[in-house]
Structure 1
Amino acid sequence: MINYQPDSGPFTHNDRSSTHLMYQVILALLPATIFGIYLFGMQAAMTLIACGLACIATEALCLFIMRKRVVACLDGSALLTGWLLAMSLPPHFPPILCAVGGAFAIVIGKQCYGGLGQNLFNPAMLGRVMLLICFPLEMTDWSVPFSQADVVVDDNMIQTWLHFDGMTSATILGEFASHHGSGLIPSPAMALGHHAGSFGETSSVLLLLGGVFLIYRRIIHWAIPVSFLSILLLISCVTYYLFPLMFGGAALHFAPPSIHIFSGATLLAAFFIITDLVTSPTTQKGQLVYGGLTALLVWAIRSFGSYPEGVAFAVLLMNCMSPIIEQLCQPKPFGSQEAV
Structure 2
Amino acid sequence: MNTFTVSPSPHIHSGDSVKKNMYGVIIALLPTLAISIYNFGLGALVVTATAIAACLLFEHLIQKFLLKQETTIWDGSAIITGMLLAFNIPSNLPIWIIVIGALVAIGIGKMSFGGLGNNPFNPALVGRVFLLISFPVQMTSWPTIKNTFLSYTDVQTGATPLSVMKEALANGELPTDVLGQIPSYRDMFLGLQGGSAGEMAGIAILIGLAFMLFRKIITWHIPVAVLGSVFAFAGILHWIDPMMYAPPMFHILSGGLFLGAVFMATDYASSPMSNKGGIIFGIGIGVITVAIRVFGAYPEGISFAILIMNAFVPLIDKYIKPKRFGEVAKKK
Q: With structure 2 as the length reference, what TM-score do the two structures score?
A: 0.91
Change (3 A) 1:60 1:196: same
Aligned to 1:301: 292
Instruction: Map 1:1-340 to 2 at 5 A.
Output: 4-9=1-6, 13-65=13-65, 66-70=67-71, 72-146=72-146, 165-180=154-169, 181=175, 182=178, 183-240=181-238, 242-244=239-241, 251-331=242-322, 334-335=327-328, 337=330, 339=331
Change (3 A) 1:163 1:99: closer
Q: For the Cα contact (< 8 Å) 2:162–2:299, is it kept in 1?
A: yes
1:143 partner letter:
P
Q: Deviation string for 1:96-154 (max 9, x for gaps)?
A: 111100111001011110111000110000000000000000000001101xx5xxxxx
2:193 partner letter:
H
How many angstroms apart in 2 are the aligned matches of 1:311 and 1:224? 14
How many angstroms apart in 1 are the aligned matches of 2:151 and 2:132? 29
Pairwise CA distance, 1:7? 2.9
How many angstroms apart in 2 are the aligned matches of 1:143 and 1:15? 43
Q: For the Cα contact (< 8 Å) 2:42–2:151, is it kept in 1?
A: no
Unaligned runs of 5+ in 2: 170-174
1:293 partner letter:
G
Pairwise CA distance, 1:243? 1.1
Higher Rg: 1
For these two proteins, the number of residue pairs brought into alignment is: 316
Aligned to 1:152: none
Q: For the Cα contact (< 8 Å) 2:118–2:269, is it kept in 1?
A: yes
Change (3 A) 1:327 1:100: same
Q: Deviation string for 1:143-198 (max 9, x for gaps)?
A: 1101xx5xxxxxxxxxx777884211000100100113321321101111111111
How many angstroms apart in 1 are the aligned matches of 2:87 and 2:210? 19
Change (3 A) 1:237 1:12: closer
Deviates more, 1:171-180 or 1:252-261: 252-261
Change (3 A) 1:64 1:239: same
Aligned to 1:157: none
Query: Percent identity at matched positions?
Result: 37
Pairwise CA distance, 1:12? 6.0
How many angstroms apart in 1 are the aligned matches of 2:150 and 2:103? 33
Unaligned runs of 5+ in 1: 150-159, 245-250
Q: For the Cα contact (< 8 Å) 2:183–2:192, is it kept in 1?
A: no
How many angstroms apart in 1 are the aligned matches of 2:193 and 2:210? 23
1:173 partner letter:
L
Pairwise CA distance, 1:315? 0.7
The DSSP-based 3-state class of the residue aligned with 2:92 is coil
